[in-house]
A = this chain, B = another copy of it.
Amino acid sequence: MVRQERAARTRAALVRAAAEEIDRRGYDGTSLNKVINAAGISMGALTFHFSTKSELADEVQSQGSHAARTVADHVTAGSGPALQAVIDLTLELARLLEEDPVVRSAARLARERPGSPAWSAAWLPAVHSLLAQAQRDGQLHPAVLPETIAALVVHLVAGTETYARARSVTTDTARASAVVQLGRIWQLALSGISPREPSDGPPTPRS
């Protein structure tokens, strides 16, 4: 029993150390030697749990996707307005990306390892179904397509990942948290940048 607990702690420390290394240096830049040094664990103990770097990365991705799916399930199960649920989901993802290197590295690994499922597969289906609901409930401007809001969400979450990673290595504490920053951006996206009654029409993208 004590041995099992110790093994579980060792395994968790390895996953955490691997996640921190991968988050900073990427899959290719991560060596198992650096991981065991950071975790203070022997190579023998590592290979007892994970026989290859690939297996260790699989576990990081699995845990990072699980965390995002848990948030998506929780938000989807709520009874509030669907558009608000989409916003809450992205703010929860921002919190995960800010606080949890396992989630940040899972998002990074999904891009860097060919053939692995996108990290967004854990939460994007929930966004699509909530946006369809928001449209049915009249919560969207008639000219706005749910697919475009979904594209905005994907861009904002990717931007948040970049922002949170940069913030994790800086000592500049004056930068707003990823969650606060994203909340401000949503406020702006909901009401719109242009004045409500423009004299000569809002500017539009030309391409």
Contacts and interface: CB of A to CB of B under 8 A. Distances in A.
Contacts of A159: 154-159
A178 to B, nearest CB: 10
A194 interface: yes
B166 A111 contact: yes
Contacts of A28: 25-26, 28-29
Interface string A195-207: 1100000111111
Contacts of A187: 148, 204-205
Main secondary structure of the interface of A (DSSP, over half): helix
A2 interface: no
Interface string A148-184: 1101101111111111011001000000100111111
A121 to B, nearest CB: 13
Given A28-B26, A91-B207, A152-B188, A162 B196 contact: no
